[in-house]
A and B are shown apart, each in its own frame.
Chain A
């Protein structure tokens, strides 16, 4: 039994701001179910004594000293912006958030 269904995919698509057609939802639900099952079999192989891994190399405490480095000029920062005004990025007003 797949751990992910069509409604889950529709929900994720909405969260990820991806527009998907009904056909695409059907197809992705099937493809993602295969991936989720594959991941599940990995989970089964790893026992309780194996901690979750967030990084493939066992490093810790990679720090940077608190020393100021390089910055962009406002012009450089905005060079790839679709729109700008008074040295700031100009974006559409987004109403459903605060």
Chain B
């Protein structure tokens, strides 16, 4: 059964959205949070586990120092205060994803708290999102529901559990309620998660691959009538795991809540499941007293004390923050605000930086990525960086054009060849017989023929109407099947007719 929704515009007319996010970041430490088993994605099930991950009786967890340092770095990058003293707590629940029957987490003493992140929207508007806390915890095992339909728990006959992910270090970042975003709420949602992802990737503390679940988002949405202070009842949409899905899920929940409120019913406080195929959510579990997790301080772990010296040492290792890096790159590259924003929105800033590092100029790098590759990536429905164009390829292609070996049109053809896996640019030029006719002999013949074919045009040019030359150049290009260097052809025509260019 599908829920009633209002149009987004109607919802915005009547209600004011309040958002909140819980983003889980998997750290890329070599080992798990509390055990020395490897933290590796995609291995054979239940091979990256030892007695601690399986919750065997009598085992003791020992905290991973690197995971603590990564967590502090995340806290600092989110402008948080770092707790001088904090503890772990047990979050008790029964579910097969944790063999211990509790998750080791932090409760009232998170390692980082009271931060903020300034989020730049696509038009340059800056929106401050306040961070409530960032705490350390461990990931759970992975369940696969078997039987029933399409891997969903409803109607499943049984579930299979792989504990390789159990105990992988997580940092959960929780925002304060985000108010005042209005109709920008879905865009802000996406931009916020993108910013968190960018930060943890830039810090080098997470692989930050959303498709692998390295960054996962739970999105809270509530609505209130315009002008009312008190928040409405919220829903929590779980595991929205792509940037596009975050935007769509928030938009959908706003529309759904608006329809519920319009009908005079209260919104049910519950978890919602996001469905990428229909771009809708369905009701999950209602909040109940089963959510009484009976947190208590973890007796098997001792407190973490983050001395100010240690925190400052870690702060000194932080890389340039992404927002500052963007400012620096824009100024280094000499792009206009609009050009640079287009580059960022197209997701090719890193690629352009690498291409420049490989030897291209800023304008050449932008021309190739924005002019050629972004469009091709869109057609292929992948991120531009994933299309398979190496920076060196662009540098090589551009050098061939600059050296007059091929022209721009051929260069795009060669690029297609590279993407089709036909080899390096040089190999493709060779194989396809692409080369600008640079020997003047054949060009002069073609020019003579073109001039003879269009004597009127030839006379006009002689008479000083140089702009008429296009017709002759066109004739030569046609005769040489596009393999001539148009600039050279132009020079030769003018030379031949004795006209100054």
Decide: B158 and A69 in contact? CB cutoff 8 A: no
In chain A, positions 29-73 with a C-beta closer than 8 Å to chain B are 52, 54-55, 57, 59-73
Q: What total of A-B pairs shows CB separation below 8 Å?
A: 148
User: Is B269 part of the contact surface with A, judged by Cβ < 8 Å?
Assistant: no
> Within the complex, what minimum Cβ distance (angstroms) separates A40 from chain B?
17
Decide: B38 and A88 in contact? CB cutoff 8 A: no
In chain B, positions 21-53 with a C-beta closer than 8 Å to chain A are 29-31, 35-38, 44-51
Decide: A94 and B159 in contact? CB cutoff 8 A: yes
User: Is B302 part of the contact surface with A, judged by Cβ < 8 Å?
Assistant: yes
* Given A86-B160, A94-B96, also A72-B49 (CB < 8 A): yes
Q: Which of A65, A73, A95 contacts B65 (CB 8 A)?
A: A65
Decide: A68 and B290 in contact? CB cutoff 8 A: no
Decide: B96 and A91 in contact? CB cutoff 8 A: yes
For chain B, which range describes its interface: under 10, 10 to 19, 20 to 34, or 35 or more residues?
A: 35 or more
Interface centre among A60, A63, A72, A93 (most CB of B within 10 A): A93
Decide: B49 and A92 in contact? CB cutoff 8 A: no
* Given A63-B62, A66-B65, also A86-B304 (CB < 8 A): no
Contacts of A87 in B (CB 8 A): 44-47
In the bound complex, CA of A8 to CA of B147 (Å): 38
Number of interface residues of A (CB under 8 A): 39
In the bound complex, CA of A97 to CA of B294 (Å): 17
Decide: B285 and A64 in contact? CB cutoff 8 A: no
* Given A67-B31, A68-B31, A71-B38, also A91-B49 (CB < 8 A): no
Chain B residues at the A interface, C-beta cutoff of 8 Å? 29-31, 35-38, 44-51, 54, 62-68, 85, 87, 92, 94-96, 143-145, 147-148, 153-154, 156-163, 238, 271, 273, 284-285, 289-290, 292, 294, 297-299, 301-305
28 contacts between A and B (CB under 8 A): A15-B289, A15-B290, A15-B292, A54-B303, A55-B301, A63-B68, A64-B63, A66-B29, A67-B30, A67-B31, A70-B50, A71-B49, A72-B49, A72-B50, A72-B51, A74-B46, A77-B163, A78-B46, A89-B162, A90-B159, A91-B96, A91-B143, A91-B158, A96-B290, A97-B95, A97-B285, A98-B284, A98-B285
Given contacts A17-B94, A69-B35, 11 further A-B contacts (CB under 8 A): A11-B292, A15-B92, A54-B303, A61-B305, A62-B301, A69-B36, A71-B50, A77-B46, A89-B162, A95-B153, A98-B284
